[in-house]
Every structure is written in structure tokens, then in C-alpha cells.
Amino acid sequence: MNSLALVTIARNEARCIERCLFSVRAHVDAMWVLDTGSDDATPEMARRAGARVETFRWCDDFSAARNAALDLADADWALVLDADEWLVDGATALHALRHEPPAHVGVLRVDNLYGADAARAARSASWLSRVLPRGARYQGRIHEQPQAHWPRRRLPVTVLHDGYLDDAMRAKQGRNEALLRRALAERPDDIYYHYQLGKDLELRGAFGDALPCYQRAWAGASRADPWRHDLALRLLFTLKKLAQHARAVQLADAEQASFGDSPDFWFTLGDLLLDWAAREPARGSALVPMIEAAWQRAVAIGERPDLPDSVAGRGSFLAAHNLAVLYDGLGRHERAAIWRERERAMRAAAAAAD
């Protein structure tokens, strides 16, 4: 029977380390926490929760820490979670790994929470390589990725992540940017780092600084890159925030063939067109039918959590809400009432599914 270990690196995660460990400890053979310099109760809390804790001298390199943790675990399978993540579904699939040869990389669904607090958070799904066979190694100073020759396989496992909530983001402000700029100084042509730096800047509202990073990443991205979907949406949003609507629409027109089955694409396009109409009312008569069609297309497609970084609701209640507001603004109140009712039903269905 193959061994399965939880592998975590952590620093000053007293608020959440127990939540992470308690969520998985019944489903793994061992839990390893590599502490990278905590000055709070993280190590003691991890030990009380049943983890084996070792220390690591931080060297501004997440891959070095990840690989040191994998070496400590020395397991056939490693389940890699961050301290601000926790397992919510998929225990059966994890147990099944003990009877499978470690010959693939398991890709898990990680639902990221965004906003002021968890109760009102937006949610987007990422698909990340987090179940690693023995011998896998990480590369990259930050936003590190496992390098492994084994095939990837999606597993029916879901993890929640609250590290993008506002308080958590403020605590990390500046750290990621410094590491990303250092990584780009070492590897200036790494388009993934340009994408991640753009994302870091955009999330802090520095849209003018984010744009050239996104453009550099877009110019070099392959259609096979799993993060290209998120990059396209963020690039459209950034162009909107910078009032470069015509450029954004040109990009959207060129990419309809690639992203036409994405509710996020149509939702974002409708939002972009609405902003253009609000800024330039003379365009309203031409843009309103396009806005309406974009959000209706999003609803027609429905939710697509299988798409990388798809935001929950864009294929249902968020688009329905926008359509209700649009119709009210146009004086089409009966139509608005229909969409408000659809929004209520969709929100209820989403809450029941959670």
C-alpha cells in the first residue's frame, strides 16, 4: 500500500494552520509542516494538531522550501496544501491513491475566495497540480510549479483557499511583488512571471503598471497555457479600467473563437461594453444590444467551474442580476422582474450546492 502525506510550508499562519490540518489528518498517513520563520504560535499549533514540524531558513525561494518539505515527507504521494487552504470534498479519492501506483500528478480544484470577508466573498475555481508522486520537484522562486514528467489527471477533490481575502492580501502586500521582480531580473523572458506580476499589481489597483506586464505575457502565451483564460479576462478588465475600450473590444473580437464557451468571457465583455456606454453615452444605442446579448450568452452557457479561474455566478446569478439592472435602466420593468426572479432562483441553487 502506498503512503500519502500532507506537505505544507508555513509562516505566521496561526489563524488558519489548524483548520488546514484538521481537514486532512484523517485521510493521510502523516502531516509535515515546514516552518519558514514564524514568530507566532504556528509551530506549536501544528504539532498539537498532529503534524511533524521542522524549520527552514527562508531564502526568498518558494521552490527551495517546497522541495525541502517534500524531502522530509518521503512519501509515495504528497498532498501539497498551503496553510490558508483546507479540504472540503474528495476524501474518497485521496484514500484511493494508496492503491494506485504513483505514476501521475493529481490536479485538484481550488476555490479561491475574494473580497472583504468569507461570508460575502466571490469565488473562482483554479485547477492546480497538488498531488505529487515521489520524485516530483518544484521550480520557480515564486508562484512555483511542480516539474514532473508524469501525466496530469483531474481528481474529484475540492479545496477552499481564503488567502485572497482583503485582510490576507494586505498582510502580503509588497512581498510578492519584490519576489516577482527579483525572479524577472533572473529570467526576464518568463511570460508566466509577467502574468503573475501583472496580477499582483492589478489586484492592488495599479492598472497602469499591470498593463505592460499583461501585454508581455499575452504576446508570448500559448493557447495551451492553462492560465491564458484568466490572463485574457484580466487584460480586458485592465483595459476597461484604463478606458481603453476600443482596444479591449478588438481583443475580445479576436478571441471569441478561443473563449466563446466561457461564461466569464461574455460576462466580462458585457461589463466592458457597459462601462464604455456609461463613459460615452452617444454610443449607448449601439452598445446596449451587445451588452444584453453578452450577458444572455453567459447565462445560456451556464457555470463552467472546469475552466481555469472561472468565477462562480458569471454563468448564472451575477449575469442575471446585471440583466435585471440593465432592463430596469431601460424602463423594461417586466423583463427586469423576470430576471430578478431568475437571479433569486440561481442564488438559491448555488447556496444549496455549497
Q: What is the pLDDT of residues 97-115, one digit of tens each?
A: 999 999 999 999 999 999 8
pLDDT in tens, 198-237: 999 998 899 999 999 999 999 999 999 999 999 999 999 9
Residue 252 and residue 259: Cα distance in Å, rounded? 9
Does 235 share its domain with 343?
A: yes
- For residue 279, the domain's CATH number is 1.25.40.10
Does 338 share its domain with 235?
A: yes
Does 165 share its domain with 227?
A: no
Examine the fold and report which residue of 106, 139, 169 is the final residue of a domain before the chain moves on. 169
Residue 354 and residue 348: Cα distance in Å, rounded? 10
The answer to whether position 178 is within a domain reads no
Does 98 share its domain with 239?
A: no
Mean pLDDT of 310-323: 98
Does 151 share its domain with 65?
A: yes
Mean pLDDT of 23-39: 98
The answer to whether position 189 is within a domain reads no
Does 165 share its domain with 239?
A: no
The answer to whether position 68 is within a domain reads yes
Mean pLDDT of 127-139: 97
Please list the residues that pair with 139 across neighbouring strands.
145
Instruction: Print the domain residue range for 306.
Output: 222-353
pLDDT in tens, 185-200: 999 999 999 999 999 9
Residue for grid cell 432562483: 345
The answer to whether position 180 is within a domain reads no
Mean pLDDT of 158-172: 87
Mean pLDDT of 22-29: 98
pLDDT over threshold 90, residue 42: yes
Does 119 share its domain with 246?
A: no
Examine the fold and report which residue of 169, 193, 210 is the final residue of a domain before the chain moves on. 169
Res 320: pLDDT? 98
- For residue 9, the domain's CATH number is 3.90.550.10
Examine the fold and report which residue of 146, 169, 192 is the final residue of a domain before the chain moves on. 169
For the residues of 158-194, what is the DSSP string, one character each? EEEEEEEEHHHHHHHTTHHHHHHHHHHHH-TT-HHHH
The answer to whether position 101 is within a domain reads yes
Mean pLDDT of 65-91: 97
- Helix (H, G, I), strand (E, B), or coil: what is residue 2? coil
pLDDT grade, residue 166 (50/70/90)? confident
pLDDT grade, residue 120 (50/70/90)? confident
Does 138 share its domain with 30?
A: yes
The answer to whether position 214 is within a domain reads no
pLDDT grade, residue 116 (50/70/90)? confident
Task: Tell me the HSE value of 63 on the side-chain side, using a 13 A CA sphere.
Answer: 14
Lowest mean pLDDT among 21-35, 117-131, 267-281: 117-131
Tell me the three cell numbers of residue 290: 451587445
Mean pLDDT of 309-337: 97
pLDDT grade, residue 174 (50/70/90)? confident
Does 43 share its domain with 147?
A: yes
For the residues of 67-84, what is the DSSP string, one character each? HHHHHHH--SEEEE--TT
The answer to whether position 204 is within a domain reads no
The answer to whether position 277 is within a domain reads yes
Does 141 share its domain with 59?
A: yes
Domain count, the chain: 2
Does 150 share its domain with 52?
A: yes
pLDDT over threshold 80, residue 173: no
Average pLDDT, the chain: 96
Tell me the three cell numbers of residue 122: 466571490
Q: At what angle do helices 263-279 and 245-259 cross, to 10 degrees?
A: 160
pLDDT over threshold 90, residue 175: no
pLDDT over threshold 90, residue 169: no
For the residues of 7-30, what is the DSSP string, one character each? EEEESS-TTTHHHHHHHHTTTSSE
pLDDT over threshold 80, residue 133: yes
pLDDT over threshold 90, residue 181: yes
- Give me the sign of the Cα torsion angle 35, 56, 72, 76: positive
Mean pLDDT of 70-75: 96
Q: How far apart are the first and last CA of the chain?
A: 33
Does 229 share its domain with 163?
A: no
